[in-house]
Every structure is written in structure tokens, then in C-alpha cells.
Amino acid sequence: MTQSGGAAEQLAETIRGLHMGELERPEAVRPGDVWHVPVGRIVEWEPDEINIRLNELHAESPGLLELDGYRPILTETVVACPSCSNDERLTIRGVWGEPAEYVCPCGHEWPCRARLLQEAIVSTLSQHGPDSIRRSDAS
């Protein structure tokens, strides 16, 4: 642990928290349910590690990098299947609070952050209600 990061480190930590932290579980979500949430085409906003580090350096030593100010921190990435490159009609599958998977229309699977499954569940529930998502018991 280093104390030298100061404000920039806190900022980076906050941004990681915003994008990586967990949401509060809605009442309609039972703990063991496996969710299959159709997300179609999805864009992930990834914290950009290089820009986070640049911002830290800028805060520690203003002028050293000759930056005018902070750099944008998030990078937009369209999620695509690593096997067949399909980036449409994707599904996120998993249990609330556990690591999830993307599933493409061909059935390929690859890891998805737990937080994204939670966001997909919450937004689908709020738009379409609790019966709109297919789910199955974990057992």
C-alpha cells in the first residue's frame, strides 16, 4: 500500500467502485435463481488502466507529463463473442452476486462481470416486470 496517490488514487478507486461494485439485490431476485437475460447488443465501459495511471502521475507531479488536465478514463467496448465474433442477440446468464457468462446465439460462453448481470437484471425488471426474464433453479 502506498500513500502517495492521494486524490487521483481515490478518484480511480471511486471509478472502479462505480463500475465494479455490486448492486443491492431487488426483492424479486431470489438468491439461487439462474438468470438468462437477453441483452441483445451491449457496450461495456471499461476503466482504462493506462489513463487512470496517467491521471495519477499528473496529480502527483503536475507538469511532468505536460498534460493540460485529466484524461478520459473509460473506454467503450462492444461485447463480441471471442469464438464467432457475434455481437448481437447476446444473453447474460448467471446467479445474482456470482460471476456470470455471456452466451452468444451459437451457444459459445465466456465470462461476464457479476455487476453486468446485476445491471441487466435490474434494468429488465424495471422495464418489463418480474415475469419477463427466464430463470431456473440453480439445483
Give min distance, CB of 81 to Zn ion, in A. Answer: 3
Taking CA atoms, 139 is separated from 95, 131, 136, in Å, by 12, 20, 9
Alpha-helix runs per DSSP H in 26-99? 49-60
Cα radius of gyration rounded to whole Å, the chain: 18
In the complex, least distance from residue 124 CB atom to Zn ion, rounded to whole angstroms: 22
The nearest distance, CB 41 to Zn ion, in angstroms, is: 14
Cβ proximity to Zn ion, 54 vs 80, nearer residue? 80
Residue among 43 and 64 whose Cβ is closer to Zn ion: 43
Instruction: State in angstroms the smallest separation of the CB of 107 from Zn ion.
Output: 7
Would you say 105 or 129 has its CB closer to Zn ion? 105
The residue type at 47: P
Which CB sits closer to Zn ion, 25 or 36? 36
With 0-12 / 13-18 / 19 or more C-beta atoms within 10 angstroms meaning exposed / middle / buried, residue 102 is buried
At residue 94, the 3 state secondary structure works out as: strand
List of residues contacting Zn ion (CB under 5 A): 81, 83-84, 86, 104, 106, 108
